[in-house]
A = this chain, B = another copy of it.
Amino acid sequence: MNFLEIAKSAKLASLEIAGLSEDIRNQALISIANILEDHKNEIFEANKLDLENARILVESGKLSQQTFNRLKLDENKMRDMIQGIRDVAKLPDPINKILFKRELDKDLVLTKITCPIGVLGIIFEARPDVISQISSLAIKSGNAVILKGGKESVNTNKTILSLINSALDNVKNFPKNVLSQVFTHEDIAEMLKCDEFINLIIPRGGNKLVQYIKENTKIPVLGHASGICHAFVDESANLEMAQRIIIDAKTQYPSACNSIETLLIHDKFPQKDELLASLELSDIKLINNPERWDFEYGDKILAFKTVKDVDEAIKHINTYGSGHTDCIITESRENAEKFMNNVDSAGVYFNASTRFADGFRYGFGAEVGISTNKTHSRGPVGLDGLTIYKYKLMGNGHIVKDYAEGKKHFTHRDI
């Protein structure tokens, strides 16, 4: 099958899975978890093959050790992967949720109800655990998926998806072609053009991948190309709190998108030197007034600058930030409110580390990704981000003419 045929099949599958009961969708997830558990040695074998090929690339400098590590599946990762699928099965159903029910007139009832989006295109890099994670989120939310993984993990990916699909074959009434996989770079190009059949692209990988995808498709992309997060230490900040939050937000996981890249300090904050010294003691390399303010270090490096007030901090963040997550450390409720109302980011924090920006920490149960978009989904995205809604109208021969002519009148009463 060429890409267009795969996409058409996925579209048809999406129409079928959309109508499946919650019970069948959850049963499918349990079957997937079981088959992966029963056949994990096959997956380890396939992964070993990928690791052997990758090792050669690492030795010749063509692949980073980091990518190699992400590629590796061990017992712990496998256990988390399988548990992750079981956890998704236990989450509340994100579809068929009634958002409102409204009587428009006697015997004319409008219901707004959540439903799947359709076909998701997933483009991910070396982490093979993405397959089972995204597949389970898609099945839970009634969507079909086309997966394109990194070439380094091709054997692992093929083995995992073929196990998953053989599990699905045995689930009664589960449609064919809900999950499919493509492999070539040309497939990515085709996917990005395929707005007729693909409704949402979710990239899982580094900034360059996401940037490339966003620049080359008209299909909505759920994700963030960069995470330029800020901490602003206000005049009245508590020193100990500022130290604690900044050290957490920079060092707890420096390459995470929700780690801070820039520290802004109020020029009247009295303990500035103490604060900076303590950050350096925590292995943070400080850069005073760097050339670029929109750079993601992804390391224990922190740009810093003094600002004259909270307004200048807000302006700096709205100019150079990526709209991801930014925090103010202050004892002034008034400044905190001003900051949170005026910083145009998905997450605006008061006296808390930016590292909290995460679907699990927000209590979503699962995370689809973190979005810096201004439409559909923003910030950490749970299963809700894979749904949209439709309007169901139940009438009894109602026609618009009667209302246009004033013979009948709308009641518009929520029920």
Contacts and interface: CB of A to CB of B under 8 A. Distances in A.
Given A19-B342, A104-B356, A353-B400, A374 B388 contact: yes
Interface of chain A, main secondary structure: mixed
Given A345-B390, A349-B395, A363 B18 contact: no
A389 to B, nearest CB: 6
A80 B378 CA distance: 36
Nearest to A365: B412
Contacts of A403: 361
Given A245-B397, A397-B245, A391 B375 contact: no
A375 B200 contact: yes
A361 B392 contact: no
A375 B245 contact: no
Contact of A361 (B340, B345, B410): B410
A244 B340 CA distance: 54
Interface in A304-360: 318, 336, 340-342, 344-353, 355-357
Interface string A13-43: 0010011000000000000000000000000
Interface in A231-250: 238, 240-241, 244-245, 247-249
A359 B384 CA distance: 24
A265 interface: no
Nearest to A394: B350
A397 B351 contact: yes
Contacts of A217: 218
Interface residues of A, number: 70
B218 A362 contact: no
B397 A241 contact: yes
Contact of A15 (B18, B318, B361, B412): B318
A29 to B, nearest CB: 21
A355 to B, nearest CB: 4
B118 A248 contact: no
Given A361-B104, A363-B410, A374-B118, A352 B404 contact: no
Contacts of A249: 399
A120 B365 CA distance: 33
Contact of A118 (B244, B344, B350, B412): B344
Given A199-B375, A347-B393, A375-B200, A252 B356 contact: no
A76 interface: no
Nearest to A195: B214
Contact of A214 (B102, B218, B248, B398): B218
Given A218-B217, A397-B241, A412 B350 contact: no
B398 A389 contact: no
Contacts of A220: 220, 375-376
A71 interface: no
A388 B373 CA distance: 9
A341 B19 contact: yes
A241 B412 CA distance: 23
A194 to B, nearest CB: 14
A346 to B, nearest CB: 6
A108 interface: yes
A340 B240 CA distance: 58
A60 interface: no
A2 interface: no
Contacts of A391: 346-348, 357, 362, 379-380
18 contacts: A15-B344, A104-B363, A108-B356, A117-B374, A118-B374, A217-B218, A218-B218, A240-B397, A336-B394, A345-B390, A347-B390, A347-B392, A347-B393, A348-B391, A349-B395, A353-B399, A356-B398, A361-B403
Given A247-B399, A248-B401, 10 more contacts: A102-B363, A104-B363, A199-B374, A214-B218, A217-B218, A244-B399, A348-B390, A349-B393, A378-B389, A379-B389
